[in-house]
């Protein structure tokens, strides 16, 4: 398992244990996990974003911390939040992260997650010119999500 996956897993466990709120001291967490503090920053900025259902606050200095809060929303609101966070393009990796987060937050079930992932795969877009793939992926993903929210 990659270090970024370990960091994300540790933070998710903290969120689960602390009812959706985790306060992290970056240097302490880096020491516990055996990584550099910048790795903690990378994971937080890439995997704990508002689009993925998290609010991140930080305070710098000696007593500084990073506070992560999991936003609780009903299924329809969560899906609309995701739809609104998707721009004109969507790459495969981001789509996969969104699907994984929706599944982990019980917004979608495993069958729906697999169907969404299949629709976002590169195999679907093989005959589409590279410059248009992410545009089509965004349109299709948004439409599928809007269908789920009805």
Domain count, the chain: 2
Same domain assignment for residues 55 and 92: no
Give tens-digit pLDDT for 46-86.
888 876 778 899 887 766 789 999 887 788 888 888 898 89
Query: What DSSP designation does 44 have?
Result: H
Mean pLDDT across the chain:
89
| Token pair 């929210």 in the structure block, residue | 149
Asked if residue 145 and residue 82 are part of one domain, the reply reads: yes
Domain closes at, from 41, 70, 99: 70
Q: How many Å apart are CA 141 and CA 120, to the nearest integer?
A: 7
Sheet holding 21-24, edge to edge: 21-24, 65-70, 54-59
- The verdict on 44 and 103 lying in the same domain is no
- CATH number for the domain harbouring residue 25: 3.30.56.130
In Å, how far from its chain's centre is CA 138? 16
% of the chain exceeding 70 in pLDDT: 97
SS3 call for 22: strand
Q: Residue 70 is encoded by which pair of tokens?
A: 């999991």
Do 34 and 54 lie in a common domain?
Answer: yes
Q: Other CB atoms closer than 10 Å to residue 98's CB: what's the count?
A: 22
Domain that holds residue 111: 75-149
pLDDT at 38: 87
Domain check: are 63 and 81 in the same one? no
Structure-block tokens of residue 107: 């917004």
Tell me, yes or no, whether 34 and 93 share the same domain: no
Regarding whether 48 and 101 lie in a shared domain, the answer is no
Q: Is 144 in the same domain as 80?
A: yes
> Tokens 């398992």 identify what position?
1
Tally the residues of the chain.
150
For 105-136, what is each residue's pLDDT tens digit?
889 999 999 999 999 999 999 999 999 999 99
Distance CA 87, CA 117 (A): 18
CA 23 remoteness from chain centre = 19
Phi, psi dihedral angles at 67 (to 5 degrees): -110, 125
Q: Are residues 48 and 83 in the same domain?
A: no
In a shared domain, residues 12 and 48? yes
Q: Is the full-model pTM beyond 0.95?
A: no
């Amino acid at each position: 398992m990659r270090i970024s996956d370990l960091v994300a897993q540790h933070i998710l466990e903290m969120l689960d244990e602390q009812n959706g709120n985790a306060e992290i001291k970056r240097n302490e967490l880096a020491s516990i996990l055996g990584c550099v503090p910048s790795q903690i920053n990378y994971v937080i900025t890439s995997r704990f974003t508002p689009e993925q259902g998290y609010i991140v606050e930080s305070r710098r200095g000696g007593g500084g911390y990073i506070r992560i809060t999991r936003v609780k929303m009903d299924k329809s609101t969560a899906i609309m939040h995701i739809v609104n966070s998707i721009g004109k393009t969507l790459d495969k990796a981001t789509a996969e992260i969104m699907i994984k987060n929706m599944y982990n937050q019980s917004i979608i079930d495993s069958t729906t997650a697999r169907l969404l992932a299949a629709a976002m795969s590169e195999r679907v877009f093989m005959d589409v010119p590279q410059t248009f793939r992410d545009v089509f992926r965004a349109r299709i993903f948004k439409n599928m999500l809007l269908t789920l929210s009805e």
